Amino acid sequence: MIKTNNSPHARWQALPPASMILSSGMWSQRQAINRQISLRHGYKMLESVGNFHNLRLAAGRVEGKYRGPLYMDSDLYKWLEAVAWEIANNPDDELQRILDESVDLIEAAQTPEGYLNTFYQIAEPERRWVNLKDGHELYCFGHLTHAAVAHHRVTGDGRLLNVARRFADYIDSIFGSGKRAVTDGHPESEMALIELYRETGEQRYLDLALFILEQRGHNLLGANHNASYYQDRVPIKQSTVVEGHAVRALYLASGVTDAYLETGDEAWLKTVQAQWHDFTSGKLFITGGAGSRHDGESFGQPYELPNDRCYCETCAAIASILWNWRMLLTTGEGRFADLIERTLYNGFLSGVSLDGRGFFYVNPLMSRGGYTRPEWHGCACCPPNVMRMLSSITHYFATDDDSGIQIHQYAPGALKAGEISLRIETDFPWQGIVRFTVDESPAAAWALKLRIPGWSAFTTLRINNENVDLSAAHQGYVTIERAWKPGDTIEIDFTISPRLTEAHPRIDPTRGSLAIERGPLVYCLEQIDNPTDIADIEIKESAPLEIEWQPDLMGGTMFIKTEAYAIDVSDWDGALYRTSGKYDVKKQPVQLVAVPYQLWSNRDSGAMRVWIPRAK
């Protein structure tokens, strides 16, 4: 969660923690599982794989060797951030105790001069600040800082914030203009320093963030490295593309957008606008996933969007949400909220199992089977990242400004922003109707902005049961300004009938194929629901798409069924290539059953595919 109240170039203001409390529905269920299961599971894993152990070593409380990869601290900090945000949603004694103990431990682990990185304190003390390319020191600092800001914002307790400040002050004493030049192989600290600036008002933190951003692209990471991988090919202000490691690229873009929000330097904005165009016009998966290659966990070339070997790291989906959120706050354009929605409901949510104990690192759009969510990872960046996103999910649902309130994502619950309270009732995303009731309102007129998602072909709006004209909707939002009174109702109704989506013809692996979508949800075929091999199913485009509510399955979900064909491929007889036009395709009608992509691999590990060949 970020705070843009004092950001001079933010069009809208992010709301403080607990501004929206969910009452029911998909996000509420996921948040409950996150609270009841995942955060506890994460605690146990961080204990068992050594993250806490490393801190105890640094604090001098135990003896032994450092365990795990060098960025272990960051996993713990992300989990801690998740715990802090969750406490804002639901005060919880056990989580509060865990949080307090963790803060004690982190305080104890910090060196007197302010440094804090257990790997470099224990395993390689002589290598502090030596390997900025791969050492993740500023990256770990960044996640510490995000946790510290969360802790302070939620609890008012300044202890962890002071740890982060001491570390930031120490970094600032070494690096900066007139001191040592620096950038970090894994962007993250830029966002963090700017948030620390927002939380503390300390200008030096903003200056240091800007300094780190400006150093990028000047070969500070070493002459022989893969510059694109590290987003170090050109200075940021000359960059026009998203490239290299997807999570790093998108964290960096988030930091650059933060820099614009605080400075108004148009060059930052121009860069992220160009990068966003490059991302969405050539490198974005329909699920909101980012990253086309396993090799380097990286973006590919434009239109290089494989279904089976895409990377679509869960962390990259989260990074995209962080970036698009900042772009939305900057511009007020609904396309950024549209992409947040697409990513949240699909490529992000697929990253965690329904039981809250399994996590995908890679989120492919097609599996030939055998793909499951492990309970933790050797590089465990994704699980705690999922946790912090889920515990702060409502942060992305609404904003305010002097004119009123903006609603970006739809979920049932209660929203409070200043003197305004709204009650929201909806079965979204299963149904397209959202009803708002004004519970409290100031006397003066104010404007309610509601996002009209790009996928809603036709939208209607009723205020106190009277139809309202939507023709003035602008950049994805309809604005209703009036003197609202308690009891006023607003009902917006989106077209949520299932639809078939095609992909740009330059994308090879989706050619001649269709995806099923409904509202914000991308659907997929899972083998378990389909009696014939889903590798050989073709969809009949002209057939109706029928929805079927399954109340008992996967917490309640909407199936989509339609007519399709099962192709008989037996006449290929072990060949992969043959002269065209010599064979008749044999096929028989079948019913196709599709489920939301976010839910795949929760029942078994059978085959899955999003894109379905279109019957000729």
Q: Point out which residues bind a second copy (CB under 8 A).
A: 277, 280-282, 284, 286, 293-295, 300-309, 366, 368, 457, 499-515, 535-536, 541, 567, 569, 572, 574-581, 611, 613, 616
Q: In whole angstroms, how large is the CA radius of gyration of the chain?
A: 25
- Residue with Cβ nearer a second copy (2 or 514): 514
Cα(3)–Cα(506) distance, rounded to whole angstroms? 40
Say if residues 577 and 584 touch (Cβ distance below 8 Å): no
Say if residues 297 and 246 touch (Cβ distance below 8 Å): yes
Angle between helices 137-155 and 93-109 (to 10 degrees): 140
- Residue with Cβ nearer a second copy (25 or 282): 282
- Residue with Cβ nearer a second copy (350 or 367): 367
Question: Distance of alpha carbon 480 from its chain centroid, rounded?
Answer: 29
- Residue with Cβ nearer a second copy (551 or 574): 574
- CB 495 to a second copy: min, Å: 11
- Residue with Cβ nearer a second copy (419 or 568): 568
Say if residues 478 and 470 touch (Cβ distance below 8 Å): yes
Kindly give, in sequence order, each residue whose CB lies less than 8 Å from that of residue 158, ignoring residues fewer than 6 positions away.
152
CA nearest to 69, candidates 144, 142, 135: 135
Active-site residue (options: 297, 341, 491, 517): 297
- Residue 531 corresponds to which amino acid? P
SS3 for 210?
A: helix
- CB 454 to a second copy: min, Å: 10
CA angle 111, 113, 119 (to 5 degrees): 40
- List beta partners, residue 362: 313
Active-site residue (options: 310, 312, 315, 381): 381
- CB 301 to a second copy: min, Å: 5
Cα(370)–Cα(253) distance, rounded to whole angstroms? 34
- CB 499 to a second copy: min, Å: 5
Tokens representing 416 are: 């409070």
Residue 381 annotated among the catalytic residues of the structure? yes
Cα(189)–Cα(193) distance, rounded to whole angstroms? 6
- CB 216 to a second copy: min, Å: 24
Would you give the end-to-end CA distance of the chain in angstroms? 48
Cα(317)–Cα(335) distance, rounded to whole angstroms? 16
- CB 367 to a second copy: min, Å: 10
Cα(80)–Cα(342) distance, rounded to whole angstroms? 27
- CB 336 to a second copy: min, Å: 14
Cα(101)–Cα(86) distance, rounded to whole angstroms? 16
Cα(33)–Cα(60) distance, rounded to whole angstroms? 35
Say if residues 452 and 459 touch (Cβ distance below 8 Å): yes
Residue showing tokens 């104010």: 446
- Residue with Cβ nearer a second copy (32 or 535): 535
Say if residues 416 and 19 touch (Cβ distance below 8 Å): yes
- CB 584 to a second copy: min, Å: 13
- Residue with Cβ nearer a second copy (115 or 494): 494
Stated as kind and residue range, the H or E segment containing 407 is strand 404-407
- Residue 168 corresponds to which amino acid? A
- List beta partners, residue 547: 560
Residue 379 annotated among the catalytic residues of the structure? no
- CB 174 to a second copy: min, Å: 35
Q: What are phi and psi of 401, to 5 degrees?
A: -155, -170
- Residue with Cβ nearer a second copy (300 or 412): 300
- Residue with Cβ nearer a second copy (174 or 457): 457
Tokens representing 110 are: 């910090």
Hey, which residues are catalytic here?
A: 297, 381
